[in-house]
Amino acid sequence: MLIRFAYHSTGIEGNTLTLNDTRLILAYGQLPSEKGHSLKEVFEVENHRQAFDYLFKEATDKRPFLPLIVRNFHRLLTDHILPDGGQYKSLPNYIQGAEFKTAEPFEVSNKIQAWCDQLNQAFQTDKSLDDTLTTLMEKHIEFERIHPFSDGNGRTGRMLIDYGLVLKKEPILVIERKNRDEYIQYEVNKDVPGLVEYAKNKLTNERERMLNFYQTSERIKAFQKKEFNLLQKTTKPFLKNNE
């Protein structure tokens, strides 16, 4: 899950590491053998490990959305990349190609506090997955329009979606790099229903993936148990004869 999420989330923002490169970094602690990749790209992937650890720790403690959690996700995801990780922007920024203005630096602190408060309040009344996804996608679009950090807003925003899903005991949502243009259009057009439908389809696929993994794991365990019992049967006579 971590490997796929890191591969796709960084890829949406232009990271050129392959899925196998990402696996080498996160599963084996190895650098890609192919040349042409920057250290920045490696850190973009590696930083997802600590961000995921933080996500599950805070979600296990059932901590609501807080400005500190928002800033910590950004700090962890931009470690060794940005000098101002975890700090709100000090200069105005913009989204290339967007026709709207992002929040001014002096507005960010209050806007993120309100963003957290509104999200937490909505979570208390959400009764279904549709409700939860509608809340998360509305707030995701709003977060990207606030654009609270100098850089790294996209990957932070996607991590916050998954923080909300894990709080609600739902699977992790992986927005795939092949769907980048579709995803961005949903954001630009403030198309909440489109994002919700996209997310629902992806979560259905994720549940099927998890079920297949579990069933495969159970089959492997059953096979190993059968082999162990067979080994015991074949070695017992040998052991008795040598007592």
- Asked whether residue 56 carries a pLDDT value surpassing 80, the answer given is yes
Does 77 map to a domain?
A: yes
pLDDT (0 to 100) of residue 64? 98
> Residues within the annotated binding site?
151-158
Does 223 map to a domain?
A: no
Does 142 map to a domain?
A: yes
**Which residue from 70, 107, 114, 65 is spatially nearest to 90, judged by alpha carbons?**
107
pLDDT (0 to 100) of residue 94? 87
pLDDT (0 to 100) of residue 216? 61
pLDDT (0 to 100) of residue 14? 94
Does 231 map to a domain?
A: no
Average pLDDT of the residues in 171-190:
95
Does 195 map to a domain?
A: yes
The whole-chain average pLDDT of the chain stands at: 90
- Asked whether residue 210 carries a pLDDT value surpassing 90, the answer given is no
- Taking only the tens place, the pLDDT of each residue in 134-153 is 999 999 999 999 999 999 99
Q: Cβ(142)–Cβ(170) under 8 Å?
A: no
What CATH number corresponds to the domain at position 166? Answer: 1.10.3290.10
Residue located via tokens 């961000």: 51
- Number of structural domains (the chain) is 1
Least confident of 23-32, 50-59, 98-107, 217-226: 217-226
Portion of the chain with pLDDT greater than 90, in percent: 78
- Asked whether residue 65 carries a pLDDT value surpassing 70, the answer given is yes
Q: Cβ(77)–Cβ(47) under 8 Å?
A: yes
What lies within 8 Å, CB to CB, of 44 at 6+ separation is: 10, 13, 15, 77, 81, 155
pLDDT (0 to 100) of residue 34? 77
More confident residue, 105 or 233: 105
Does 190 map to a domain?
A: yes
- Asked whether residue 214 carries a pLDDT value surpassing 70, the answer given is no
Does 232 map to a domain?
A: no
> Residues within the annotated binding site for ATP?
151-158
Most confident range (mean pLDDT) of 30-39, 126-135, 205-214, 231-240 is 126-135
By residue range, what is the domain housing residue 53?
Answer: 2-216
More confident residue, 212 or 206: 206
**What band does 96 get if pLDDT is binned at 50, 70 and 90?**
confident
Portion of the chain with pLDDT greater than 70, in percent: 87
The catalytic site residues sit at 147
pLDDT (0 to 100) of residue 240? 57
- Asked whether residue 218 carries a pLDDT value surpassing 60, the answer given is no
Does 137 map to a domain?
A: yes
